[in-house]
Amino acid sequence: MDLACGTGVLLRALAGRPGRPASVVGVDRSTGMLGRVGQLPPGWRTLKADARSVPLADGCADVVTCGYLLHLLGPDDRAAVLREARRLLASGVTSRLVVVSVWPGRRLLRAAFRALATRRPAELGGLLPLDPSADLRRAGFAVTDRVQLSRGGYPSVVLRATPS
């Protein structure tokens, strides 16, 4: 399940990989975004819903992804999204959450991103840096992997976590 799937960039990337999942649900609250997802493989679908409250059964997903959403939200909404991700995850050793957030690794870059996002929030507010590690821990996840990316897009952090 991909929470806040937007235009389906991650869905399309997964669809093009060998050994892709048999079923995937892309969730987004924007009809406009979902309208740009395009054709998905058989067994895959999109669902118009808020990431804080997805109308699907508890434990329906082995993997939940959430890319470039948490840094746009305040603390209470981040907590609600992570609670929902935990609810949606199946129990078991293979269950995991993967989160991607804007996160320049260097302190000077973080300060520059924060200044830009603060000065021009309508255009650059989405660049507000966030390391969601503490949010994940508070939501009952243990971070198992952390990778920082700095090429080909926004400087970002990718966190893989399991329910603890």
List pLDDT tens digits, range 8-65: 999 999 999 999 999 999 999 999 999 999 999 999 999 999 999 999 999 999 999 9
Higher confidence at residue 125 or residue 149?
149
Mean pLDDT estimate for the chain: 91
pLDDT at residue 25 in the model? 98
Q: Quick one: pLDDT band at residue 121, thresholds 50, 70, 90?
A: low
Contacts of 22 (CB under 8 A, 6+ apart): 43
Which domains, from first to last, does the chain contain?
50-163 (3.40.50.150)
Virtual torsion, Cα 98, 157, 74, 112, nearest 10 deg: -170
* pLDDT mean over 117-143: 83
Contacts of 154 (CB under 8 A, 6+ apart): 68, 102, 127
Q: Quick one: pLDDT band at residue 3, thresholds 50, 70, 90?
A: very high
Q: Quick one: pLDDT band at residue 124, thresholds 50, 70, 90?
A: low
Return d(Cα 164, Cα 46) in angstroms, integer: 29
Q: Quick one: pLDDT band at residue 76, thresholds 50, 70, 90?
A: very high
As a whole number of Å, the end-to-end CA separation of the chain is 20
pLDDT at residue 119 in the model? 77
pLDDT tens for 133-143 read 999 999 999 99
Q: Which of 6-10, 12-16, 71-75, 112-116 has the lowest mean pLDDT?
A: 112-116
The token duo for 70 is: 């948490």
Q: Is 16 exposed, middle or buried (0-12, 13-18, 19+ CB in 10 A)?
A: exposed
Contacts of 8 (CB under 8 A, 6+ apart): 26, 34, 36, 37, 38, 40, 46
